[in-house]
Structure 1
Amino acid sequence: MNLPRTSEREVPDVLAPAQLGPVTLRNRIVKAATYEGLSRRNLVTDDLIDFHVRHAAGGVGMTTVAYCAVAPEGRTDRHQILWRPEALPGLRKLTEAVHAEGAAVSAQIGHAGPVANPRANGAPALAPSRIFHKTTLSFTHAASREDLHRIVRAHADAAAMAAEAGFDAVEVHLGHNYLASSFLSPKFNRRTDAYGGSLPDRARLSLEIVRAVREAVGNRIAVIAKLNMDDGVPGGLWLDEAIPVARWLEETEALDALELTAGSSLANPMYLFKGDAPLREFAAAMPQPLRSGIKLVGNHVLRSYPYQDGYLLADARQIREAVTLPLILLGGITGRPIMDRAMAEGFQFVAMARALLREPDLVDRIREDATAKSLCIHCNKCMTTIYSGTRCVLAEHESPRSASRQAQTAVTREDA
């Protein structure tokens, strides 16, 4: 499938209203999911609401709440939002606050699988096969068929609760070697049953999840999936297999859009972010013996990759050529030029993360001045703040006027 050439189709204005499934967004810019570190005891806090209100007030079309686990053992942090009835009042308060600023709001739902923290969760981490996780210094348990059926149902239940709580969309996490992504990866999936081996069998769990989610919500809200194009790990999923998976996801007719990502939270987390690897800051944030381990061998796990605007575009183009499904371009979206380029190349939406942590009102600045440049320097020190409230550390040291506009509220974590 080839999209019409740019000259043969109208290039959308990234700042104009756009349709995402049943939802009309005020523009085509999405605040990408970045784990906020601001939930407590699996519930919404006022700090978490304030975080998303800042981005809504700053002009994005939609902000994404990350990461909301569908099952207790699927959390990477014991405080993460867990889909259960007790969470609904806080989630409703959050969606209402975002809507009051004129933006839509999405909930990222998923199961962390081998990336989960078994000690904090009090339960083994699940994976397609037995895997050793260097961060938690533990082995995963191979998920049973019963586990997988339960987790598929849990995604459907989470999506239904998201609709009840007033979310405009859910984003199903199929990336970064979380559970569904680890099943897609030939490196981590060594099963011999119907969920392993061939690519169609490795993709089975992802397809079952998105179908179950769509069935649960119907056309009440939009359904997005976040898919790895490349794990960034030898022997992992790569673009040659991601392309057919994207086609199969499209064929389910369960999705309103597909967001394209890369990297492995298990084996190569910096592959997604590009820019500097903040080894010293990561070491300082970790308990022993991980702190010493990062100091000794961290440069082998946390590699630095050169940054450029739109750094996932080259791979995403190949997915764009393969499907007609609306696509969300992620990775190095910092200003109007790369946004316009994405629109010209057939992407329907763009997603921003670090640039908005630096300046929550960047979209409004771009609306006022198309030449406005992001202040983000891609130092990635924001990555280490998830333990105390995700924020740009550089914004903390700016003028009082800037700080009041940009700084993120840190939260003191009990038993962090």
Structure 2
Amino acid sequence: MTELTQEKHAAITWLRSITGDLSTTVHKRMEQQLPWFLEMPPGRRSAVGLVAQAGIASFVQWFENPDAATWVARDVFDSAPRELLRSVSLQQTLQLIRVVVDVFEERTLNAPQSIREGVLRYSRDVAFAAADVYARAAEARGLWDARLEALVVDSILTGEHDNELPSRVAALGWHGHGEVAVLVGTTPRQIEVDQLRRTARHNQADLLVGVQGSRLVVVMGRSKPAADLEAEPVPFLQIARALEPGFGEGRLVLGPEVPSVVQASRSARAALAGFSIVEAYRRSERPMLADDLLPERALAGDSLARQTLVQNLYRPLADHQSDLLLTLWCYLDNGRSLEATARELFVHPNTVRYRLKRITDLIGWDATGAREALVMQCALILGQIADSGTAETNRPVSRYPRRDR
């Protein structure tokens, strides 16, 4: 045996003799310098201690065979349970490595130069191994989150979600609260999901993003401002306009606001229906409100649009104890002419004008505008069809048959 081999053999024998003492010293030092270590449950502290002991033991193996640096360093973390990665951060792991290295350096201060150099080289390998372990864990979690997010968005679009939807959304780190709206547009050639999320954060919102082939679907929820809880919430239309550059060219439709993410499927249905027919509206904008496309959606067979028109426009007028519904029928049938309507109803034109104002106050739509008149006429027709299916109802204007002019 040569002199160099004898020296290394003696160093290895000495290192093996002090491993127990090193483990005890490292454990005491962790209790003194790492506050998070003392706050852990006993079982988790034991697992961290096993990692430290494995690091000390594997250093001896590495010193004996430096060519095995890669796999020996990774073996340090294989001794710990997998759930330890979720409870101990990368920063805490590096602090643990620093404690072990400091104890080694103090104990090997008078040791041969080869051992002191070995401690430095091995600590580097262990640090890189730790970064690799956490990087692989983060990549796996990222892929899992992406799959889960796609599943959540798909369940919202189809409306087939169950009671597990809130827990799945919470697992994604969803910070949205209260109202939700769905934005549907075309998928860009290169989608920048991180940029979409940053834009949403600047507008006090959180997102769920799903790519459905050529469609990009974004579920928007408001997040509470960190500094000012009393601040006015940012309108969803404003958030959608801020997100607009992240979509591809062409159609972009915003669904109506709904109370919670559990009811987001209603907003998604409206947005998808509007997205499919938005080109039928000549003055479409980016983004376009799905509720501004109610006539086109209803003509295309969207049951939700029909229900919205009947409930929000027709039903309040039909249930009102006055001649508002009749006046609206006559006004629209007479080409929005005040004089013709007044003649048919045997009232003064100012009375017609007054009733139209009351209609606007009641349902929020103004029949004197061309586009809104179209929406309201669709609502009247659909409402009469709905009523005729449940009871024998005549059209109100039939009480006043037209006279030959």
TM-score, scaled to structure 2: 0.23
Larger radius of gyration: 2
TM-score, scaled to structure 1: 0.22
Q: Which has the higher contact order (CA 8 A, sep 6+)?
A: 1
Higher relative helix content: 2
Higher relative strand content: 1
